[in-house]
Amino acid sequence: MSRNAESTAFRSALEVIRGVEPRVADAIGAELADQRESLKLIASENYASPATLLAMGNWLSDKYAEGTVGRRFYAGCQNVDTVEALAAEHARELFGAAHAYAQPHSGIDANLVAFWAILADRVEAPALRRAQARHVNDLTEADWFTLRRELGDQRMLGMSLDAGGHLTHGFRPNISGKMFDQRSYGTDPATGLVDYDRVAEAAREFRPLVLVAGYSAYPRKVNFRIMREIADSVGATFMVDMAHFAGLVAGRVFTGDFDPVPHAHIVTTTTHKSLRGPRGGLVLCGPELADQVDRGCPMVLGGPLPHVMAAKAVALAEARRPDFADYARRIVDNAQALAEGLLRRGASLVTGGTDNHLVLIDVTGYGLTGRQAEQALLDSGIVTNRNAVPQDPNGAWYTSGIRIGTPALTTRGLGTAEMDTTAELMHTVLSQTSAAANPDGTASKAKYALDPALADKVGRQAGELLAGFPLYPGVQLG
């Protein structure tokens, strides 16, 4: 798409929107301006291409399409079938998966589809066979009692939230923690790394139905071959949530033991983050779980979002191009350069560095909580998010850490030299921010003190850094 065409497309869209609700048009324009001016370091965010963004704003949004390709509960879905089939085809080819399901609206939805597919495969199907029933509703209470006694409780073993896992891996307030009798594995207290022997020990003791691997704040690779061996040793279904690092798998940065697709029974992911697509999810699996996964709608999903599936197809097609592999490599190069720059300036990093796209800073060395550090950085034009560190004394709300990542800045074209500058800007802010006291004199976990002049200076420096790497250069709204 030419730059002139991009500008025309987005200007025209905003003009149409402005004719109905100008405040929405203003907010959309302001979001582009904000993103252009901010040093975006949120590990779970990126910038989708203009083609991907435009694929979401069209008439496919008007269609209900419950069911699957060729088997819809609504008539007139031939065009939805086309885009969903394309999204699944690109996903299969990109990741080397036997089956792909492109309907999940988000990563959490993808995980729910996977959980219920596993339960249907491990619980419903054996029960039907034992009772010689044709449908799960035909099972008697005695059938279920016998089956549960044979299989044991519906148990999940996943990475703990403070060790870098995700809330959908069994966190109690999340639905996953209510669906399963859950236990977590953590990381080695001395190194912050996954201890596979301890995971194996926990699996032998707990005997989970599902072993979950994957993370949202673990800055290292995971050996999925070893994790599959652990799952097999206790008869567990092995599930990997690769939402954060899917782009590194797609770009062949993570291969062999570190590529989850050949090793897991079922893999879930988002399509944004390091994949650089629209907000949505995917499920990948082998033939043995394909039928159950394809029941995601109506099992746990409502009607699919055809316009988002169209955008997934576009983004996945982009990820199959050779330049995406170069992009994925540069994500990791940039993350490691950012980590090294922070370490040289005295920052404390969980695990001492990174193998992937993210870096986790323990900001207690600066005398701050994660919440204080997050806001001080935001005041200075640097967008991050607070995150718990292993055994975090400040809990999941205030936290002791800041999670940063490089997918978005790498999309803009920044390289390792700019990552060192970014480390300097961050260190300047954090080292000059101090915790403030509550009115009663007690230490506050939220209030902080930072010279506004310093924040303004860093913000200008961040803007100067970004000026050489314009965001969406083909889109001019003014």
DSSP state string for 340-355 = HHHHHTT-EEGGGS-S
Let me know: does 400 contact 370? Beta carbons within 8 Å.
yes
Let me know: does 77 contact 302? Beta carbons within 8 Å.
no
89: nearest Cα among 319, 270, 408:
319
Cα 57 from Cα 191, distance rounded (Å): 47
Let me know: does 380 contact 448? Beta carbons within 8 Å.
no
- In eight-state DSSP terms, residue 154 is -
Let me know: does 372 contact 334? Beta carbons within 8 Å.
no
Query: Coil, strand or helix: which one is 421?
Result: helix
Catalogue the active-site residues: 64, 66, 241, 270, 273, 279
Cα 353 from Cα 350, distance rounded (Å): 7
Cα 405 from Cα 126, distance rounded (Å): 43
Let me know: does 468 contact 36? Beta carbons within 8 Å.
no
Q: Report angle CA 449, 450, 452 to the nearest 5 degrees.
A: 130
- In eight-state DSSP terms, residue 38 is S
Q: Which long-range contacts (CB under 8 A, 24 or more apart) does 168-171 make?
A: 168/107, 168/108, 168/111, 168/241, 169/212, 169/214, 169/241, 170/212
- In eight-state DSSP terms, residue 210 is E
Let me know: does 217 contact 42? Beta carbons within 8 Å.
no
Cα 112 from Cα 157, distance rounded (Å): 16
Cα 102 from Cα 110, distance rounded (Å): 9
Query: Coil, strand or helix: which one is 281?
Result: strand
Tokens of 278: 């629209």
Query: Coil, strand or helix: which one is 415?
Result: coil
